[in-house]
Amino acid sequence: MDRPMASPTRTPIRPRPRRALAFVLAGWFVLGLVPRPAAGVPSTEFASVRLDPAELASPGIARADGAAIRLSAEKWTRADQVCAPFAFTMAAVTWQGADEAEAALGWGEGATRAEGEGHEGPDPGSEEWNDVEGTPLVWTGEQRCLTLKLRTHEASTLRRPRVVFINSSGTGDEQSPLAAAGAWIARGVSSVLGWMHAAPAEAWTKQPGIILRPQWGANESLRSVNCDGTPDYADAVRVAYIHHTASGNGYSKGGADDAIRGIYAYHVKSRGYCDIAYNFLIDKWGRTYEGRFGGITEPVIGGHAMGFNTRSTGIAALGTFSSKRPSDAMIRAFKRLIRWRLDVAHRKPNGFQWMTSAGGSNQKFDRGENVYLRSVIAHRRTGYTDCPGDRLARFIRKIRRSATRRGHPKIYDPVQSSSDLVHGDGQVSWRARVSRSDARWRIDIVNSSSSVVRSFTGTGTSIAGIWDGTTSGGVPVPDGDYTVNISASRGSTPARPADFTLRVCALAEPGESTCPDPDV
């Protein structure tokens, strides 16, 4: 698998205040004045309550049929009240059967409509693919009961309908003041630690501050509930999807991580996913969170855009932005994250990429169909969904432009023709583009001893090199594994480099043009 070179560590900005704060926090931990974040994160309470179809049945509109309910098109069922075994803060409805349904949820003084219309979804045939459908998880604030009614856009049967209740804030039962204070302080410490997280070198686009999974309290044991706990990787990231979680905007600044833990639990325990669907999330204060496990610079395959999860990264705005305008802080965070993440992937934010559909019921393209997509797109571009909401979708063009404008020079779309080179039986070529015409570029082939055995150099926007496996003097290089480094600079400012691995051998297996596996 070819991946971009990992970013070097950047010297933190304003190191003295951060170092001082780190010592203070460390001292508090030692003295026991502040709990460690992992221990202080509230536990997530979860309940899935079966809906009684008979309670929702209404003559001519909805008919109970055992564990299923048969619905007429575009008509609401009778309202039913459902209570949880604890005080919940988030709720959703799941079912099997129909691809789409809509739930009207009411609680206290609040109410919302939650449409189960493909806000996310794994690719067909993947480890986490299943037949459980559901609405987004909606933030309700602390409640004990809610009322709900259902409808579908076409006459359909919902099998095994259930209400999911989640409390990830630690308030499902009465907390002692000391426990509540400890959880509150731990969340604050997590936010501080996320801010202190080091970003890459100033020489290229800077990594924004990202609150990592341990800091927002991800329960890593959940990743083994439905899957083996190991993330899946693509060979590269080509496209960044913009989503909203459609979970409502009522969460507090201190409760954003609670909402993310709730979505994580819902995706795994109710929807059957391997992990949270999104690769990144951004709250309305502009704080960015690591989503799916596997590495923020790696091409981790998510479950956010059915049919197009492979070779994409999914970034979700935490909230609902159909009629609500996203905050300026949130939009700035999208610009920073996409500018950095697509530079790591060597993709032009306002460019285009070819993607191949994996198919699926909630997306617009047939399996195997090649689609030419923008590098930064709304989920609705490929899925049957309103995601990310009209008010957020309006900003995508501005996000693309801003992410493209800064951080030059950049290397775009590096390609290596083969990962094997057989002496005397072919060549390997490299192609890429540079964002500035006055940039100087270089291709270095490096052996296992870190010595450069061959180089190619040039200027301009086109990078190209062809190698036959020999040194500049025409001597064949020894068999082995090599690293190919593509770099560029404009004056004293370097671009983020790209690298590939290459195996060189004298003989291939009979009838083969690739090198034999050394482990076989």
For the chain, what's the residue count?
520
Report d(CA 24, CA 202) in Å as an integer.
28
pLDDT at 516: 75
Report d(CA 275, CA 264) in Å as an integer.
7
pLDDT at 189: 45
Report d(CA 268, CA 137) in Å as an integer.
12
Report d(CA 258, CA 165) in Å as an integer.
14
Report d(CA 74, CA 256) in Å as an integer.
34
Sheet holding 411-416, edge to edge: 411-416, 428-434, 462-467
Q: Print pLDDT tens along the chain (520 aa).
A: 444 433 333 333 333 444 444 444 444 434 433 333 444 688 999 999 999 999 999 998 989 988 899 999 889 999 999 999 999 999 999 999 887 889 999 998 777 888 776 678 999 999 999 989 999 999 999 999 999 999 988 899 999 999 999 999 988 654 444 444 444 444 454 444 444 444 444 457 899 999 999 999 999 999 999 999 999 999 999 999 999 999 999 999 999 999 999 999 999 999 999 999 999 999 999 999 999 999 999 999 999 999 999 999 999 999 999 999 999 999 999 999 999 999 999 999 999 999 999 999 888 999 999 999 999 999 999 999 999 999 999 999 999 999 999 999 999 999 999 999 998 778 999 999 999 999 999 999 999 999 999 999 999 999 999 999 999 999 999 999 999 999 999 999 999 999 999 999 987 666 666 787 766 5
Backbone angles phi, psi at 353, to 5 degrees: -140, 145
CATH of domain 411-505: 2.60.40.4070
Report d(CA 69, CA 14) in Å as an integer.
60
Q: Are 491 and 453 in contact (CB under 8 A)?
A: no
pLDDT at 10: 35
Backbone angles phi, psi at 400, to 5 degrees: -60, -50
- Is domain 45-167 given the CATH code 2.60.120.260 in the classification? yes
DSSP string, 485-504: EEEEEETTEEPPPEEEEEEE
Q: What stretch of H or E contains 25?
A: helix 15-31
The pTM for the full model equals 0.86
CATH of domain 15-39+176-405: 3.40.80.10
Structure-token pair, residue 327: 């905050």
Neighbours of 126 (CB within 10 A): 19
Q: Is the peptide bond before 17 cis (omega within 30 degrees of 0)?
A: no
pLDDT at 348: 98
Q: Are 454 and 471 in contact (CB under 8 A)?
A: yes
3-state secondary structure 403-433: HHHCCCCCEEEEEECCCEEECCCCCEEEEEE
- CA terminus-to-terminus distance, the chain: 18
Boundaries of every domain in the chain:
15-39+176-405, 45-167, 411-505
Structure-token pair, residue 143: 């409640």
